[in-house]
């Protein structure tokens, strides 16, 4: 078994930018600044620009970086105006642009092959002056530049690549993982990648961290790390319980057997549809899909609403009596469809079920219970007493989960945009229809149960 030191040196050779890489990047950044300043001057705007993020802090990973340029506005401008101005500037300079949202719209695009984000914010001196969440970002950049030493920059790169390899890098809604800034302050806290991994391998849900000695504000999140530039903010707020557990497990496994696939996992080699079908048939489970078209909304809105839809469907099914094992989802970007897959017992529900009433000693409750159920047409066996309690036997509306989903999905809470979009525009499909060429990688990853570094 190779030592972690050998593995980490190999990784750094791959991810560290060369002198040539740095020269090209710096040239493009300067070109971007020149073009943006030209637009600012032409419009006679009282705004300044600031390079932020990993390129400004020199913590970026080769071939996986964004150039983040912030436009700093005086507080006299409205949020609508700063968004409108920055979008119009960005659209002149960048190619293949796409609007995103972080309290107010900002622009993503490309310049000379590099991903670029042009983001408006307000010019502030400290976090207490912030008017929007992104106003802190330039302060984050300055903090890291002033506190992270040269050797620790490579430790940050190792951590970012490790997180990327295990699927935990990124605070965006799709990932629900670790942001770049969180990686940087974690290295400030633990000094090196391996020290951090050793510490994190013992973490439990509810871990609390800070760079200061002050009391830590309590947040209802699996990990809390207080922002050194804003002590009311949790930098780890985006991290989900699932990704927290995945990360802690990966730390333990890496310490047991440090291999390069933690940093650079092999691609999933999709099984044939026949093998996928055979694996499913070995299980005593029923697979049912809810399928609808993917709405044209930004990912930051889309993913939380899909997860809300998953919870709504899962809870509704279980409340009705269906035993649910899991409800994964998959976005098919080729067909622009969303698949929510309900995995349940093969057996149908019974035609009737027993509803439990109050204890017989609660006379008033008994009276109301009997009055409610005595004349209901779908009552199979009227209220009766057994072992000191009242019961009633009721006929079910649905014994098959497909029928239940067909009638109920459109009425469930799915979030502001998704609920309106889905309405009655969805299909309930069986497993044969879920055996789809576009879903082969998803099914393989779901069924083989292997972690990314094990492949």
pLDDT digits (tens, 9 = 90+) for 163-183: 999 999 999 999 999 999 999
Does domain 18-134 correspond to CATH entry 3.30.460.10?
yes
Helix 4-15 vs helix 150-166: crossing angle, to nearest 10? 90
Q: Which CATH superfamily is domain 352-395 in?
A: Archaeal tRNA CCA-adding enzyme catalytic domain (3.30.70.1550)
Tell me the average pLDDT across 428-442.
Answer: 94
* CA nearest to 16, candidates 69, 67, 64: 64
Tell me the average pLDDT across 299-328.
Answer: 94
What CATH number should be reported for the domain whose range is 273-348+399-454? 3.30.70.590
pLDDT digits (tens, 9 = 90+) for 228-259: 999 999 999 999 999 999 999 999 999 999 99
- Considering the chain, what percentage of its residues have pLDDT values greater than 70? 99
Which residues are registered as beta bridge partners of 180?
none
Q: How far is C-alpha 60 from the chain's CA centre?
A: 21
pLDDT of residue 386: 93
pLDDT digits (tens, 9 = 90+) for 256-266: 999 999 999 99
Phi, psi values for residue 333, rounded to 5°: -75, -15
- Given this chain, do its domains 148-262 and 352-395 carry the same CATH topology? no
pLDDT digits (tens, 9 = 90+) for 276-289: 999 999 998 999 99
pLDDT of residue 1: 53
pLDDT of residue 300: 86
pLDDT of residue 299: 86
Does domain 148-262 correspond to CATH entry 1.10.3720.10?
no
Tell me the average pLDDT across 340-344.
Answer: 97
pLDDT of residue 161: 98
Q: How far apart are CA 116 and CA 134, in angstroms?
A: 16
Mean per-residue pLDDT over the chain, rounded: 94
pLDDT of residue 59: 98
Secondary structure of the chain as H, E, C letters: CCCHHHHHHHHHHHHCCCHHHHHHHHHHHHHHHHHHHHHHHHCCCCCEEEEEHHHHHCCCECCECEEEEEEEECCCCCHHHHHHHHHHHHHHHCEEEEEEEECEEEEEEEECCEEEEEEEEECCCCHHHCCCHHHHHHHHHHHHHHHCCHHHHHHHHHHHHHHHHHCCECCCCCCCCECHHHHHHHHHHHCCHHHHHHHHCCCCCCEEECCCCCCCCCCCCCEEEEECCEEEEECCCCCCHHHHHHHHHHHHHHHHCCCHHHCCCCCCCCCCHHHHHHHHHCCCEEEEEEEEECCCCCHHHHHHHHHHHHHHHHHHHHHHCCCEEECCEEEECCCCEEEEEEEEECCCCCCEEEEEEEECCCHHHHHHHHHHHCCCCCEEEEEEEECCEEEEEEECCCCCHHHHHHHHHHHCCCCHHHHHHHCCCCEEECHHHHCCHHHHHHHHHHHHCCCHHHC
Domain assignments of the chain as residue spans, ordered by start:
18-134, 148-262, 273-348+399-454, 352-395
pLDDT of residue 2: 66
pLDDT of residue 46: 96
Q: What is the pLDDT confidence band of residue 445, given thresholds at 50, 70 and 90?
A: very high
Asked if 133 and 102 touch (Cβ cutoff 8 Å), the reply is yes
Tell me the average pLDDT across 329-353.
Answer: 94
Neighbours of 235 (CB within 10 A): 25
pLDDT of residue 453: 97
């Amino acid at each position: 078994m190779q030592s972690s030191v050998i593995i980490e040196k190999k990784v750094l050779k791959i991810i560290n930018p060369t002198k040539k890489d740095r020269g090209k990047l710096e040239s493009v950044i300067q070109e971007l600044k020149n073009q943006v300043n030209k637009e600012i001057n032409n419009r006679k705007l009282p705004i300044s620009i600031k390079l932020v993020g990993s390129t400004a802090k020199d913590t970026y990973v080769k071939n996986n970086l964004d150039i983040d340029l912030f436009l700093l506005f005086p507080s006299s401008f409205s949020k609508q105006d700063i968004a409108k101005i920055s979008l119009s500037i960005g659209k002149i300079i960048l190619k293949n642009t796409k609007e995103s949202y972080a309290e107010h719209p900002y622009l993503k695009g490309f310049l000379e092959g590099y991903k670029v984000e042009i983001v408006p914010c307000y010019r502030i001196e400290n976090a207490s002056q912030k008017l929007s969440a992104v106003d802190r970002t330039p302060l984050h950049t300055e903090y890291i530049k002033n506190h992270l030493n040269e050797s620790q920059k490579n430790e940050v790169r190792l951590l970012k690549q490790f997180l990327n390899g295990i699927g935990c890098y990124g605070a965006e809604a799709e990932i629900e993982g670790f942001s770049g800034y969180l990686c940087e302050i974690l290295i400030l806290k633990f000094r090196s990648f391996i020290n951090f991994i050793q510490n994190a391998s013992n973490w439990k849900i509810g871990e609390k961290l800070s760079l200061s000695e002050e009391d830590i504000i309590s947040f209802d999140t699996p990990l809390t790390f207080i922002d050194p530039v804003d002590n009311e903010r949790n930098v780890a707020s985006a991290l989900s319980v699932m990704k927290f557990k995945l990360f802690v497990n990966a730390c333990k496994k890496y310490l047991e057997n440090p291999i390069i696939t933690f940093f650079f996992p092999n691609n999933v080699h999709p099984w044939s549809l026949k093998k996928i079908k055979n694996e499913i048939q070995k299980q005593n489970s029923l697979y049912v899909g809810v399928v609808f078209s993917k709405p044209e909304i930004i990912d930051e809105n889309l993913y939380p609403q899909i997860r809300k839809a998953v919870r709504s469907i899962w809870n509704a099914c279980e409340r009705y009596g269906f035993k649910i094992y899991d409800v994964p989802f998959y976005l098919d970007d080729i067909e622009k469809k969303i698949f929510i897959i309900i995995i349940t017992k093969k057996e149908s529900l019974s035609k009737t079920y027993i509803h439990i009433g109050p204890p017989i000693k609660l006379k008033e409750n008994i009276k109301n219970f009997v009055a409610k159920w005595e004349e209901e047409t779908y009552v199979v066996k009227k209220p009766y007493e057994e072992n000191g309690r009242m019961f009633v036997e009721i006929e079910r509306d649905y014994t098959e989960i497909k029928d239940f989903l067909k009638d109920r999905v459109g009425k469930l809470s799915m979030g502001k945009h998704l609920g309106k979009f889905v309405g009655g525009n969805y299909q309930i499909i069986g497993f044969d229809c879920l055996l789809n060429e576009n879903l082969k990688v998803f099914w393989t990853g779901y069924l083989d149960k292997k972690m990314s570094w094990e492949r």
